[in-house]
A = this chain, B = another copy of it.
Amino acid sequence: MSAWVLPDHIADVLPSEARHIEEIRRDLLDMARCYGYELVMPPLIEHLESLLSGTGQALDLQTFKLVDQLSGRMMGLRADCTPQVARIDAHLLNRAGVTRLCYCGPVVHTRPSGPHATREPLQFGAELYGHTGLEADLEILTLALDSLKAARVDNISVDLADARIVQAVLQGVQLPAAEMATLHAALAAKDASELKSLTRNSPVATSQALQDLVTLYGDVRVLDEAEARLPALPAIRDALVHLRWLASHLDGAIASFDLADLRGYAYYSGARFSMYAPGASDSLARGGRYDEVGSVFGRNRPAVGFSLDIKAVAAVAVELPLRAAIRSPWAEGADLRLAIAALRRQGETVVCVLPGHESEVDEFHCDRELISVAGQWVVKAV
C-alpha cells in the first residue's frame, strides 16, 4: 500500500478549502465573542473516564482509546468537546453566576456518521451555563443562527423540538430495552403502524399520543394541534408554551416544528433545535438545553448550547472571492526587501518569484507586480 494513501473518511484539506474554513472559523469565533462568549481550548486527549462520564455508549464507541505511557491509564481522543467544556465550567472556572464559553477544534470519530461524513470534524460550539430561564435558550438559538449567517450560509431553516414531549408521552410505556429502541426508531421513522403494534399493551391514551406525535410536524399550527390532541400533562404544556415563545422571538427567521424528533433524546432536557440549509445532507447546527451535563463533574448547572462542524458548513457556505496578490522579482538590494515589507504591513500578499522560476504559474492570483521604475520600486497592474 502506498505511503501517501489516507485512511477512509480522513482527508487533507487543500489550499482553497483550507482558506475558506479558516475564514469561517474566524467569523464564528468573532460572532461568539460579540455575544460575550469566552474562548476555551480543552485538550485533544484526556482520561477516558472524564471524557466519557455520563455521556452514554454512543460516544464511547466513537472514541479512539490510547494508553498514557506516563501513567499506564486509558485516555481517549475526544469525539465531542461538549463534556470537556462542561468539565471546565464545573471545575476550573467554578463561577457562581452565568458563564458563557465557546470552543473550536478538531474532534475524531472511530467511525463516520454517514457514507460521506468525515471522521475528523472541526467542531465549533458555544455553551451558556447557570440560567434556567428561556432567555438562555433564545440567546443560544440566536447565536447559532447568527453564526451560520456570519459564515455566509443562505436560506437557513430552523427546526424546533422539545425533549420533554416524547419523554412525557413515553412515561406510561413499560417495554424491555430492545423494544424501547425499536419504538424510538419507529417514532423517528414516523412509522404509525409499528408504533401501534409496539404499544398494544400500553394505555390507550399513550398509544394514541404516539400516533398523534408522528403527525405533529410543520409550521406553528402544529403547536395548536398538539395542545388539542396530546395529553394535558404539565411537561407537555410547558414544552409547547416554551416552543411558542422561542418561535415568536426569532425576529424574522421561520421555524418549523417536529414534535416526534428524537435526536439527542437521552441528552437534552428541554427545547432543542436543528438548523438546515439547501445542499447539506444533514443538519448543520444542533443544540438545546441539557441541564444535567455537568452533574458527573459534581455540578448540576443549567446548561444550553449548540455545536456545528465547520467543514460541513464550509461545504454549503458562500466563498469570499480570493484577494489578488502582488508578484515581486527577487533582487539583492535591501531597498526591494523594504518595499516588500511595507506592502505586507499593509496586509498585501507579496509573492517573490525566486531566481529561475520566472515562467512558473502563480498559485496565488497576482493582478499587480512590483517593478523598478527610475530606481524606485512601484506597484503596477499586470
Q: Given the interface contacts A39-B18, A70-B8, does A96 sit within 8 Å of B3 by beta carbon? A: no
Binds B, one of A194-202, A274-282, A353-361: A353-361
Q: List 10 A-B contacts (CB under 8 A).
A: A7-B70, A7-B71, A7-B75, A10-B46, A14-B93, A15-B38, A38-B364, A97-B361, A135-B355, A251-B338
CA distance A43 to B311 in the complex (A): 12
CA distance A16 to B130 in the complex (A): 21
Please tell me the size bucket of the interface on A: 35 or more
Specify how many copies of this chain sit in the oligomer.
2
CA distance A146 to B345 in the complex (A): 10
CB pair B139–A357 under 8 Å, yes or no, is no
Return chain B residues, CB-CB under 8 Å to A110: 69
Task: Assess whether A179 is interfacial by the CB under 8 Å rule.
Answer: no
CA distance A64 to B297 in the complex (A): 27
Specify which of B88, B96, B105, B120 is in contact with A360 (CB 8 Å cutoff): B96
From residue 52 to 105 of chain A, which have CB atoms closer than 8 A to chain B?
A: 53, 64, 66, 68-71, 73, 75, 77, 84, 87-88, 90-93, 95-101, 105
Return chain B residues, CB-CB under 8 Å to A355: 133, 135
CB pair B44–A120 under 8 Å, yes or no, is yes
Specify which of B12, B88, B99, B334 is in contact with A40 (CB 8 Å cutoff): B12
Q: Residue on B with the closest CB to A364? A: B36
Binds B, one of A21-29, A181-189, A220-228: A21-29
Pairs A-B, 4 closest by C-beta atoms: A36-B351, A97-B360, A13-B41, A15-B38
CB pair B73–A7 under 8 Å, yes or no, is yes
- CB of A97 to closest CB in B, whole Å: 3
Return chain B residues, CB-CB under 8 Å to A34: 344, 347-350
Q: Residue on B with the closest CB to A31? A: B344
Q: Residue on B with the closest CB to A73? A: B7
Task: Assess whether A50 is interfacial by the CB under 8 Å rule.
Answer: yes
Return chain B residues, CB-CB under 8 Å to A100: 351, 363
Return chain B residues, CB-CB under 8 Å to A339: none
Return chain B residues, CB-CB under 8 Å to A352: 36, 135, 139
Q: Residue on B with the closest CB to A96? A: B360
Task: Assess whether A19 is interfacial by the CB under 8 Å rule.
Answer: yes
CB pair B22–A29 under 8 Å, yes or no, is yes
CA distance A349 to B38 in the complex (A): 11
CA distance A91 to B5 in the complex (A): 10
Q: Residue on B with the closest CB to A346? A: B34
Return chain B residues, CB-CB under 8 Å to A14: 40, 88, 92-93
CA distance A194 to B133 in the complex (A): 73
Task: Assess whether A108 is interfacial by the CB under 8 Å rule.
Answer: yes
CA distance A26 to B330 in the complex (A): 27
CA distance A99 to B362 in the complex (A): 10
Q: Given the interface contacts A14-B40, A39-B22, does A3 sit within 8 Å of B97 by beta carbon? A: no
CA distance A53 to B110 in the complex (A): 23
Specify which of B9, B15, B87, B97 is in contact with A70 (CB 8 Å cutoff): B9
Task: Assess whether A316 is interfacial by the CB under 8 Å rule.
Answer: no
Task: Assess whether A325 is interfacial by the CB under 8 Å rule.
Answer: yes
- CB of A328 to closest CB in B, whole Å: 9
Task: Assess whether A6 is interfacial by the CB under 8 Å rule.
Answer: yes
Q: Residue on B with the closest CB to A70? A: B8
Output the residue of A4, A13, A119, A298 with the most chain B CB within 10 A. A4
CB pair B351–A47 under 8 Å, yes or no, is no
- CB of A59 to closest CB in B, whole Å: 14
Return chain B residues, CB-CB under 8 Å to A350: 34-36
Q: Given the interface contacts A35-B344, A70-B111, A363-B99, does A41 sit within 8 Å of B29 by beta carbon? A: no
